[in-house]
Amino acid sequence: MKNIVIAIDGYSSCGKSTTAKAVAAELGYAYIDTGAMYRGVTLYLLEHNIDFEDLPRVEEALHQLHITFKRNRRTGRNELCLDGVIREDDIRQMRISNSVSEVSVIPAVRHAMVRQQQRMGRKRGVVMDGRDIGTTVFPDAEVKVFMTADVHTRAVRRQMELAVKGENVPLDDIIHNLQKRDHIDSTRAESPLRRAADAVLLDTSHITIDEQVDFVLERVSSVLVDALRVAEHG
């Protein structure tokens, strides 16, 4: 069976990573959470007291830092490592969510991350989620999905995720953070968040996770069936 690239883009907290992870598990594909990579860079800059506007220092940091993923055998999760150390919990904190959009507008940061993501997916057989996968990282992805949901639904989901980790954040703060990130992500000059012309839209406001996963898997099946037909009949 042909190995393809599945690009899942969209707004924050629409269920992209939950969907992408389940689709990858179903297909035996690798899952790459590109948002985690931007969060990793943000954590590094904050911990090294590097001003986001100090471009020479940011560029130097990009040469120094090593972002990798390590599979946690117990949970089956791919966890983000910064310089070889698992930092998955640290990158999900609100202090990182509050700064990550400012870091991800920096062109040098984007170039470095996009290059690494293209390397990670060069053998295909990957599900990648983010903001610019279908437009910039893999414009030739065979399946492109653009996810959205109303902001209140997204905020409630994010609040629950944070509460599970012991971080209790008022709903208004989360709504404010999501709206701010949506704005920065979609108006930045370099590869802004937008739906690729050939991406299918998936609104997750009123559907279950199983329905989201089935929606993507159906797209995958139809692409694979078409590829098989072309291979058989030319």
d(CA 41, CA 153): 28
Within 10 A of 148 (CB to CB), how many other CB atoms are there? 17
Do the beta carbons of residue 149 and residue 203 sit within 8 Å?
yes
Which of 86/224 has CB closer to ligand DC?
86
14 among annotated binding-site residues:
yes
d(CA 115, CA 121): 10
For the bound state, the minimum distance from the C-beta of residue 9 to ligand DC, rounded and expressed in Å, comes to 7
**Phi/psi of residue 4, nearest 5 degrees:** -125, 170
**Phi/psi of residue 166, nearest 5 degrees:** 85, 10
17 among annotated binding-site residues:
yes
Within 10 A of 159 (CB to CB), how many other CB atoms are there? 19
221 among annotated binding-site residues:
no
For the bound state, the minimum distance from the C-beta of residue 110 to ligand DC, rounded and expressed in Å, comes to 7
Which of 173/226 has CB closer to ligand DC?
173
For the bound state, the minimum distance from the C-beta of residue 79 to ligand DC, rounded and expressed in Å, comes to 14
44 among annotated binding-site residues:
no
- Look at the block and give the residue holding tokens 């490592």: 81
Which of 140/226 has CB closer to ligand DC?
140
The separation between CA 179 and the C-alpha centre of its own chain, rounded to angstroms, equals 17
186 among annotated binding-site residues:
no
For the bound state, the minimum distance from the C-beta of residue 104 to ligand DC, rounded and expressed in Å, comes to 4
Which of 15/142 has CB closer to ligand DC?
15
Can you give the binding site for ligand DC, defined by CB under 6 A?
12, 34-35, 38-39, 100-101, 104, 130-132, 181, 185
